[in-house]
Amino acid sequence: MEKIVVEPLSGGWAVRSDIMDNAMVFRSGSAAEDAARTLALRLARAGEPVKLHLRLRNSAIEARFICLPPVDPDAPPNLLPIPEARTPDFEHA
């Protein structure tokens, strides 16, 4: 499964993936996110599932998605949010 990460740079935003030799650099986070989603959808259409991670300016993960190849060749790929894993707080009596 391929992984695409959108993360801040000083003065811009980067889109990184193991499938690319160099990061794509953008001035705005929204432009970087659009490029990353487009890349994820193209890979999924080609049959490759993709993890998409979007980071905030402070490098915390803002959102995670998985982009699955379509079941039907005429259908679009499925871009699904991955819920955050939370550990329940247990009180000890």
Give 77-88 pLDDT, tens digit per residue.
998 998 875 445
Considering the entire predicted model, what is its pTM?
0.83
Give 37-71 pLDDT, tens digit per residue.
999 999 999 999 999 999 988 877 789 999 999 98
Query: Which CA distances in Å does 70 have to 25, 51, 74, 76?
Result: 29, 15, 8, 6
* C-alpha span between 34 and 21 (Å, rounded): 19
Q: How many residues does the chain have?
A: 93
